[in-house]
Amino acid sequence: MSSSLDLPPKGGFSFDLCRRNAMLESKGLKAPTFLKTGTTIVGLVFQDGVILGADTRATEGPIVADKNCEKIHYMAPNIYCCGAGTAADTEAVTDMVSSQLQLHRYHTGRESRVVTALTLLKKHLFNYQGHVSAALVLGGVDVTGPHLHTIYPHGSTDTLPFATMGSGSLAAMSVFESKYKESLSRDEGIQLVVEAISAGIFNDLGSGSNVDVCVITKGHKDYLRNHLLPNPRTYVNPKGFTFPKKTEVLLTKITPLKEVEVVEGDAMEIA
């Protein structure tokens, strides 16, 4: 059985198994969970540029899979992107657009612009109709000035002076809405971002651990990994614990095999 023309796979998603998966789910099989980043991510525009912030917890359902993951992704020397949603999707889409931007820089001989990254990301996400579950906060400073955008999984974008995304976005936004003003200084901006992320860390169960901050200004960036560590382990047993060196032998029973009778069968047939 062979088809007349074997087309090469077109890439992207194959929806062939969707019907079978739906059938299995109706029979009671639980689909495997994705590693989501739970997450609180924020961005704000200040006097000299943009500041991005993120928490560092990655969850798999109710379990913390990574206590200190990196959610602020590099796009270009002057552009960074925070990602919420499915971890694999945010990683893949930011890596891909980062490479595309590098090629574009070689081609044009110019510094990348934030709107370029924005358009490349939204084109990709719209094309996948929301199946690529990545919610992003994109920020950077280029020749046209500082820019901050949010990008939703279905491909829509907003341009804002301050933005939050992720499960902790409401907690973080409550801080921004209360305290944000235009032309913040660098220190004020970092302080506000830290407060917003902390609100997410302590009030949202999907976010936690540490605060990462990234400050981007004209011609310079400061990636402050683990800028704040407000969650040390509360108790360490001073004496430590002992663990058995090997598996405990509970029972040993030796049964000698009796005489094994070999019966000649039919000769093996190889067609």
Partner 1 sequence: MTKQHANWSPYDNNGGSCVAIAGADYCVIAADTRMSTGYNILTRDYSKISQLTDKSVMASSGFQADVKALQKVLSARHLIYQHQHNKQMSCPAMAQLLSNTLYYKRFFPYYAFNVLGGLDNEGKGCVFTYDAVGSYERVGYSAQGSGSTLIMPFLDNQLKSPSPLLLPAKDAVTPLSETEAVDLVKTVFASATERDIYTGDKLEIVILNASGIRREYMDLRRD
By CB under 8 A, is residue 205 in contact with partner 1? yes
Minimum CB distance to partner 1 smaller for 78 or for 169: 169
The candidate with the shortest Cα–Cα distance to 142, out of 77, 94, 187, 96, is: 77
Query: 37, 39, 59, 116: which is the annotated catalytic residue?
Result: 39
User: Counting contacts by CB under 8 A, is residue 230 touching partner 1?
Assistant: yes
Contact between 56 and 69 under an 8 Å Cβ cutoff? The reply is: yes
The correct pick among 20, 27, 233, 246 for binding partner 1 (CB under 8 A) is 233
Closest alpha carbon to 88 in 35, 128, 41: 35
| Close Cβ partners of 56 (under 8 Å, ≥ 6 residues apart) | 66, 67, 68, 69, 70, 71, 208, 209, 210, 211, 212, 226
Whether the CB-CB separation of 129 and 137 falls below 8 Å is answered with no
Region near partner 1 per CB under 8 A, out of 71-79, 103-111, 146-154, 230-238: 230-238
Shortest Cβ 219–partner 1 spacing (Å): 35
* Total residues in contact with partner 1, by rule CB under 8 A: 31
Judged by CB under 8 A, does residue 189 bind partner 1? Answer: no
Residue 239 in contact with partner 1, rule: CB under 8 A: yes
Exactly one of 11, 107, 241, 256 binds partner 1 (CB under 8 A); that residue is 241
Q: What's at 207, amino acid-wise? A: S
Contact between residue 71 and residue 128 where contact means Cβ atoms under 8 Å apart: no
Judge whether 39 counts as a catalytic residue. Answer: yes
Return d(Cα 223, Cα 120) in angstroms, integer.
Answer: 24
* 3-state class (DSSP) for residue 104: helix
Nearest distance from C-beta of residue 240 to partner 1, angstroms: 10
For residue 226, give the nearest of 75, 72, 120, 79 by alpha carbon. Answer: 72
Nearest approach, Cβ of 202 to partner 1 (angstroms)? 6
Stretch 51-90: interaction string toward partner 1, x if CB under 8 A: ------x-x--xxx--x-----------------------
**Local structure of residue 75 (DSSP, 8 states):** E
**Should residue 250 be labelled a site residue for partner 1 when binding is judged by CB under 8 A?**
yes
What length is written for the chain? 271
Nearer to partner 1 (CB atom), residue 233 or residue 258: 233
Task: Assign 162 to helix, strand or coil.
Answer: strand
Longest dimension (CA), the chain: 92
43 binds partner 1 (CB under 8 A): no
Positions annotated as catalytic residues are 39
Residues that bind partner 1 (CB under 8 A): 26, 38, 57, 59, 62-64, 67, 167, 201-209, 230-231, 233-237, 239, 241, 243-244, 248, 250
